[in-house]
Amino acid sequence: MKFIGKFFLTLLLLVLLVLVTLFLLLQTHWGADWTSRWISDRTEYHLSVAQVDYQLSSPSHLILNDVTFGHDGQPAVLVAKRIDLGFTLRQFSDPLHFDSVELNDGTMNVSDSSVAWPMQANRLQLNDMAITSPHSVLPVSAEQVNGGVMPWQPKVGNVLGDTTSFQLSAGSMTINGVAGNNVLLQGRIDNKRLVFSNIGADLARGSMTGNAERDQQGNWRIANLRLNDIRLQSSQSLTALLAPMLALPSVHLERVDITNARMQGPDWAVTDLDLSLKNLTLRNGDWESDGGSLSMNASSFINGQLQLDDPIANLDFSPQGIKISQFSSRWAKGLIRTQGEWVRSQQRLALDELVIAGLEYTLPDNWRDRWMQPLPGWLDSVTVNRFSASRNLIIDINPAFPFQMTALDSNGTSLLLAHNHQWGIWSGKLNLNAAEATFNRSDVRHPSLALTADDKQINVTEMSAFAGEGMVEGLATVSQHPARTLSLTLNGRSVATDLLHNWGWPAVPLQGKGNMQLKLNASLAAGAPLRQSASGTLSVTANEQNVHQTMVQGEVR
């Protein structure tokens, strides 16, 4: 029996001696290189380790130095100066499941979503690492990353695993295309459900804080987002900048606060923006809300040719539509103020009041084309219960027929300004008058016009102006049908005989001042020349001479 006992003791000592010898050899450069080549030759991975360290003061930890790891034939997915592997008793049943894996001073590049990681750990610790993972459940690119992941169970296409909690900080980080510095992320992943319990970052020279989550279907819920003092310079248009958010299945914004923000793109800008948005959902290119609200003010807002100064807006959202409690802005050196509502079921913008004052506005070259273009699908009609305008300057520099109206005042009631997605004056009463006006180089004083409209026609019940020492008065009707049939009667007393020449009527073979009467019928149909549709008569009396002219289809006979 003593012999058998001595034999097994000797055998055990020999085994221990071999293990110690192998372990000591493993810690040499030759041993680490041989082990790396052995693993690379016999597995689908390539591994390079410069040196293995082991300290008796930490018997459950093994240190790997200057490590490179990846799939055969693929770029390395992990490069680290130092990896600390923590062991547990579980290694006997699952050799590649560690208690802890600590990565130091390196990079993790998992751009290839097909990468499979052979190891797992109860805890992954990152120290001064760079991470690129654009295709995982948490798309991220970051530098100077520190933090931990518990547990770490990486899957193909998801380096963090399906179920885990994380707390990460980074010197710089880009998530879903949004870049920030000094980033803090806390949260968890639960079977593709992503929860950010705390987000903090220095963003565009300002700061961002908040919390949010994304469900398994890709729908986002922003519980709270606050942006302070951001200064964003973008190379994208406003539409392109918002496109990624609008392309998501849905985004529910419980509360978003923006203070003192300045943002600028190639054709848009907003300065000193303060905004508070509550309880709004964006889904399939539309919005939903029940009890939501928006309060906004800024120093200026520019989008293309539109520039608003000091805009203020207070809106309330509901399933029925949007209540406009207040909207005001300085525009074109003047002021616009309104209130009302947008009714979803009728796609109607119903304004209780619209006030325009002090504008100095030059109409765009294509304003007539814009007037004829159909309105977007969400806007079928526009009604204004009370309309008033005062001290406005309106200019059109179109060389075909330029005009200018100075100190233009107006008031209207029960106006229907858009119908079936088309601008117009479809019903209501409107009065306009100005101190002075110029129509195609012909000056008039105190022009005045009054009209009433219904679904059949527009009736101009008063039209008058002083021209030189005389006066022009008229009446007109315009049908609301697509042909836009015009019937006009114009009378002039003591006016220049060539008054109508600049307005399109051929020259009259008389000089000086006289009286005139014009009766004209024409069509104002879209896309059709006015002159070719015009037919009528003109009678002029001056210096005891009479001239009578007849126009047929734009030609005087």
The answer to whether the beta carbons of residues 47 and 38 sit under 8 Å apart is no
Question: What mean pLDDT value characterizes the chain?
Answer: 87
pTM of the shown model: 0.83
Q: What is the mean pLDDT of residues 42-52?
A: 76
Beta-ladder partners of 221: 213, 252
Chain position carrying tokens 């814009």: 370
Tell me how far apart the alpha carbons of residues 141 and 145 are, in angstroms, rounded to a whole number. Answer: 10
Token pair in block for residue 534: 């015009």
**Which has the minimum average pLDDT: 13-17, 187-191, 403-407, 428-432?**
13-17
Question: What tens digit of pLDDT does each residue of 503-524 get?
Answer: 988 888 888 899 999 999 999 8
Asked whether residue 42 carries a pLDDT value surpassing 80, the answer given is: no
Give 173's pLDDT tier (boundaries 50, 70, 90): confident
Averaged pLDDT for residues 243-257: 91
Residue 88 confidence class, pLDDT cut points 50, 70, 90? confident
In angstroms, how far is CA 554 from the centroid of its own chain? 49
Pick from 152, 136, 243, 244: nearest CA to 194: 136
**pLDDT score recorded for residue 37:** 63
- How far CA 21 is from CA of 8, 26, 36, 248, in Å, comes to 19, 8, 18, 59
Local confidence band at 138 (pLDDT 50, 70, 90 cut-offs): low
pLDDT-based confidence at residue 25 (cuts at 50, 70, 90)? very low
Instruction: Say yes or no to pLDDT of 403 above 60.
Output: yes
Q: Are 194 and 213 in contact (CB under 8 A)?
A: yes
Lowest-pLDDT range, 43-52, 197-206, 323-332?
43-52
Task: Identify the CA nearest to 226 among candidates 169, 149, 303, 278.
Answer: 278
Q: In one letter, which amino acid is 209?
A: T
Average pLDDT for 128-155: 84
Q: What is the DSSP letter of 197?
A: E
Q: Which residues contact 328 (CB under 8 A, 6 or more apart)?
A: 310, 311, 312, 335, 336, 337, 338
Which residues on adjacent β-strands are paired with residue 258?
227, 275
pLDDT at 56 over 80: no
pLDDT, tens digit, 9 for 90 and up, residues 427-439: 999 999 999 999 9
Please count the other Cβ atoms lying within 10 Å of the Cβ belonging to residue 167: 16
Quick one: pLDDT at residue 240?
A: 85
Highest mean pLDDT, choosing among 152-156, 232-236, 308-312, 542-546: 308-312
What's the token pair of residue 1?
């029996």
Sign of the CA dihedral with 285 first, then 288, 417, and 393 last: negative
Q: What is the band of 34 on the pLDDT scale with cuts at 50, 70, 90?
A: low
The three-class DSSP label of residue 434 is coil
What is the percent of the chain where pLDDT is above 90? 59
What are residue 241's DSSP bridge partners? none
178 has pLDDT over 90: no
What are 198-233's pLDDT values in tens digits?
A: 999 999 899 999 999 999 898 999 999 999 999 998
218 three-state secondary structure: coil
Distance of CA 387 to the CA centre of its chain: 31
* Cα 218 versus chain centre, distance: 19
Higher pLDDT, 32 or 466: 466
**Per-residue pLDDT tens for 151-170?**
998 887 677 888 999 999 99
Tokens 């870049």, located at residue: 179
Q: What is the largest CA-CA distance in the chain?
A: 155
Task: Establish whether the linkage from the previous residue to 151 is cis, with ω within 30° of 0.
Answer: yes
What pLDDT does residue 154 have? 85
- Provide mean pLDDT across the span 322-333: 96
Would you report the helix, strand and coil content of the chain in percent, each value rounded to 5? 10, 60, 25
pLDDT in tens, 358-388: 999 999 988 888 888 999 999 999 999 999 9
State how far the Cα of 172 lies from the Cα of 341, in Å rounded to an integer.
Answer: 44
Q: What pLDDT, on a 0 to 100 scale, did the predictor assign at position 54?
A: 67
Across residues 59-66, what is the average pLDDT?
A: 82
Percent residues over pLDDT 70 in the chain: 89
Structure-block tokens of residue 163: 């179920």
Rounded distance between C-alpha atoms, residue 532 and residue 524, angstroms: 11
CA angle 196/201/206 to nearest 5° reads 135
